[in-house]
């Protein structure tokens, strides 16, 4: 049987953020959730998260065993209190950190394949000045200790660094954990000391290597931005391999849960937020912001469009520049091309919404619905005051304020009668020019 222990009790003071460190998001998913999802590949019989008091009741931990580390006294202390909660038949224990959102499940499988009593994940680093602890190996390549570089310049010559992921035999942990002591300088207990203890006690040790970026530890907002950049590259590369065409992908944000069909074109500086489904053949034009929406095949969105809050854009519909849509269903071949707001509405197929038309859906206390049928022509700068229904084939005259239902195939006009006063403008200018002279 296998158990996974995830260390998540650090306060993350270097983040200088009111949000607990492990709840900061990368591509729309919290760092802790990235790690929890990655360990699914291990099919663990028990998952233990060591966390701080402020997170012990958080919903993200509802399906795991929670151990509270009241005072963060280091990784060794956290592992000790976690192991007190191990199920009796556990044979293997994996130790991971919650602030490594780029964790690759393949690395965890490589860690699992090892038969050693203690297996440590290492990474070849490209900059020897980095402060990672180094993995010291004997001539056979067997790990014998982890050396911190803080007061040891010679250790920096070692290019294999500690990634912070381990596999232990449960029997070994029961023997060696009581031997961990408090570091005199820091006042903490370090799990890294287990490597030296294990080798000295003739337990078998092994080194498994992974890419450095997979174990990037996020301790600052700068490192969070670095992790985001790497994750965005991964996400968009996967979409491109599946037939999605990004123009300048480095300028576009894609949430982790976005589903995008092959043949979709996404232009520069697009933001694809949470809960987005885009069918193949759609076009998302530059500088558009979309979240919580479905865009069907052949539909066009943008440029400079904003879709949010449960929006459906049906097949071949067209949403143009500076159009905002919230909580609405846009029918097939419908067109909303310029400068409009459509909120809490249904728009029938082949309907055209003229430039500057809006639905007034909120009275300051409640939201109301607007229903527009098929083949409707809504003239420019029209205002539709919900709740209202516009029948199939109706016409709304430009500049109208419509507050009552409109029947099918009818023309609705609601605007004051035009008046014209002869020579008024000339007299007005003459009057004011005399005042200024």
Q: How far apart, in Å, are the Cα atoms of 269 and each of 248, 284, 285, 293?
A: 8, 10, 9, 18
58: annotated active-site residue: no
First-residue to last-residue Cα distance in the chain: 96
CA distance 222 to 237: 23
The catalytic residue among 58, 271, 338, 371 is 338
CB 170 within 8 A of CB 82: no
The β-bridge partners of 412 are 396
Give 19's contacts (C-beta < 8 A, 6+ positions apart). none
Burial class from Cβ neighbours inside 10 Å (0-12, 13-18, 19+) for residue 81 reads: middle
Distance CA 197, CA 232 (A): 40
Catalytic residue numbers read: 338
């Amino acid at each position: 049987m296998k158990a996974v222990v995830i260390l998540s009790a650090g306060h993350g003071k270097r983040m200088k953020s009111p949000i607990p460190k492990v709840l900061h998001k990368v591509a729309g998913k919290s760092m802790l959730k990235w790690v929890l999802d990655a360990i699914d590949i291990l099919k663990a019989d028990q998952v233990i998260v060591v966390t701080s008091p402020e997170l012990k009741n958080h919903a993200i931990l509802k399906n795991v065993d929670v151990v509270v580390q009241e005072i963060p006294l280091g990784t060794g202390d956290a592992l000790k209190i976690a192991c007190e909660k191990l199920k009796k038949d556990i044979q293997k224990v994996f130790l991971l950190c919650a602030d490594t959102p780029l964790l690759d499940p393949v690395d965890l499988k490589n860690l699992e394949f090892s038969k050693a009593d203690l297996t440590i994940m290492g990474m070849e680093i490209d900059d020897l000045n980095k402060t990672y602890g180094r993995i010291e190996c004997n001539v056979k390549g067997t790990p014998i200790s982890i050396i911190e570089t803080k007061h040891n310049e010679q250790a920096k010559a070692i290019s294999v660094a500690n990634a912070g992921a381990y596999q232990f035999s449960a029997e070994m942990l029961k023997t060696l954990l009581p031997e961990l002591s408090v570091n005199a300088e820091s006042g903490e207990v370090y799990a890294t000391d287990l490597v030296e203890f294990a080798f000295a006690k003739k337990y078998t040790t092994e080194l498994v290597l992974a890419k450095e970026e997979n174990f990037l530890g996020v301790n600052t907002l700068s490192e969070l931005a670095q992790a985001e950049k790497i994750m965005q590259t991964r996400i968009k590369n996967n979409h491109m391999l599946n037939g999605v065409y990004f123009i300048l992908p480095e300028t576009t944000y894609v949430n982790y849960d976005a589903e995008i069909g092959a043949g979709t074109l996404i232009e520069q500086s697009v933001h694809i937020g949470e809960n987005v489904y885009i069918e193949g053949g759609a076009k998302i034009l530059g500088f558009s912001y979309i979240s919580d929406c479905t865009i069907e095949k052949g539909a066009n969105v943008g440029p400079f469009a904003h879709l949010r809050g449960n929006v459906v854009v049906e097949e071949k519909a067209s949403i143009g520049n500076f159009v905002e849509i919230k909580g609405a269903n846009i029918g097939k071949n419908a067109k909303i091309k310029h400068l409009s707001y459509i909120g809490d509405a249904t728009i029938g197929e082949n309907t055209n919404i003229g430039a500057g038309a809006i639905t007034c859906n909120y009275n300051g206390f409640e939201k109301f619905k607007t229903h527009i049928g098929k083949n409707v022509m809504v003239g420019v700068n029209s205002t539709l005051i919900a709740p209202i229904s516009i029948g199939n084939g109706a016409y709304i005259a430009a500049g109208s304020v419509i507050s009552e239902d409109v029947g099918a195939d009818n023309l609705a006009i609601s605007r004051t009668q035009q008046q014209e006063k002869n020579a008024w403008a000339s007299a007005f200018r003459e009057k004011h020019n005399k005042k200024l002279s």
